[in-house]
Structure 1
Amino acid sequence: MLPTKANPPLLDAAQAAFLGGPVAINVASHDAARVPSIARAFGCRVSADRQEVVVFLSHPRSRNILDDLAAGAPIAAVFSRPATHVTLQLKAAGARIQRLAAGDREIMLASGAAFIAEIMALGYSENFSRALMAPAGDDAVGVAFTPEAVFEQTPGPKAGMRLEPKL
């Protein structure tokens, strides 16, 4: 679906580019008893119309959140740049679990490399940095969602502010 004035994307071009990294990506949800689940994502892809975001999760390392999302639970994804702490949070009422598309593995590898370089420049060891972002490999899945709300979460006076689309 193409964005229109009646249906503008919540993400502007700069925000969509920011999601591509180098950022730490954490995805959260909850089960039917409202017990939280969380997982680290290994990159993301934003659709050309900026209406859909796909985050990449390791199936074995993300089993709880994938079960929660498959059951229809809401999703929250936080994207934070380590060097600046600039942070955005996206929320949606639900998400779809899907196979990786062509090019997604390359996005995961590039996102991982950018994140590794970012945190190594901050003083983290190479071994730690690589272990943290070890690619999910063949066990990765995509989690697609249409953001329904975007929040500024950078520490400071605007943290928690809901961001509205720019028309």
Structure 2
Amino acid sequence: MDHASELVLDAAQIDFVCGGVSISAASCRADGLPSLMRAVGCRVAADRRTLNVLLAATPGAGVLDDVRQSGAVAVVFSQPSTHRTLQIKGRDARVVPPEAGDAELAARYRDAFVDELRPLGYPEHVIRTVLGWPADDLVVLQFTAHALFVQTPGPRAGEALAEGGVGGGAGSAGSGGAR
């Protein structure tokens, strides 16, 4: 999807990416070597096009360095209980300081992710450890949504997604997923 000026996230997509889903941010060096980091939250700006993905700077240094060099990022949002997955790519990513309230947003995200994974048998202390971060290490990866893709396993995986879907299964792209 190359018409970024027309790309706006709908309410279901925003609910999904800001909910208790697994969030991974990736970029790559100029030589193609990828970098990946688990994020600790997401907020979407009022324009519904700008995503703010929260990361711990120290373990996320590789992704952050790559983004500073290229501006390219791919963020995957996946609901473990259903495997529903949405990928959002950006070409203008930049690292910005957190806003007031971002640390609390990250804490709420961690609680929501614990609620998502606990019924699947994951111990709460493990989830909280994986998503732990020192408050002074929080940074924001900010970018404009340029392309959206269904990445839910199945026949539609990799399909470009227009407005109106959250990466559902074989049926409608908008099936389920809103929290």
Aligned with 2:94 (options 96, 106, 117) = 96
Corresponding residue number in structure 1 for 2:127: 129
Report the Cα distance in structure 2 between the residues aligned to 1:36 and 1:59, rounded to whole angstroms.
Answer: 17
For 1:82, the equivalent position in structure 2 comes to 80
Q: Distance in 2 between matches of 1:154 and 1:116?
A: 21
Q: Deviations over 1:82-108 (max 9, x none)?
A: 111111000111301000011111111
User: How big is the shift at 1:133?
Assistant: 1.6
Q: Alpha carbons of 1:8 and 1:73: their partners in 2 closer, same or farther (altered >3 Å)?
A: closer
- 2: distance between equivalents of 1:134 and 1:33? 31
Q: Per the alignment, in what secondary structure is the counterpart of residue 70 of structure 1?
A: helix
3-state SS in 2 of match to 1:155: coil
1:41-76 Cα shifts (integer Å, max 9, x gaps): 000010122110010111110111111111124100
Other-structure match for 1:105: 103
6, 26, 29: which one aligns with 2:27: 29
Residue ranges of structure 2 left out of the alignment (5+ in a row): 165-179
The residue identity in structure 1 corresponding to 2:52 is V
Root mean square deviation of aligned Cα: 1.5
Q: Look up the match of 1:54.
A: 52
Q: CA contact under 8 A between 1:78 and 1:90: conserved in structure 2?
A: yes
Contact 2:71 2:90 in 1 (8 A): no
Report the Cα distance in structure 2 between the residues aligned to 1:44 and 1:135, rounded to whole angstroms. Answer: 15
* TM, length-normalised to structure 2: 0.85
The number of aligned residues is 161
Give the fraction of aligned pairs with identical amino acids, expressed as a percent.
Answer: 43
Q: Counterparts in 2 of 1:30-45, with a 5 A limit?
A: 30-45=28-43
Supply the AA of the counterpart residue of 1:25. I
- C-alpha change, 1:140 and 1:124, in structure 2 (3 Å) is same
**CA offset at residue 135 of structure 1?**
3.5
CA distance in 2, matches of 1:153, 1:136: 31
TM-score (norm 1): 0.91
Unaligned residue ranges in structure 1 (runs of 5+): 1-5
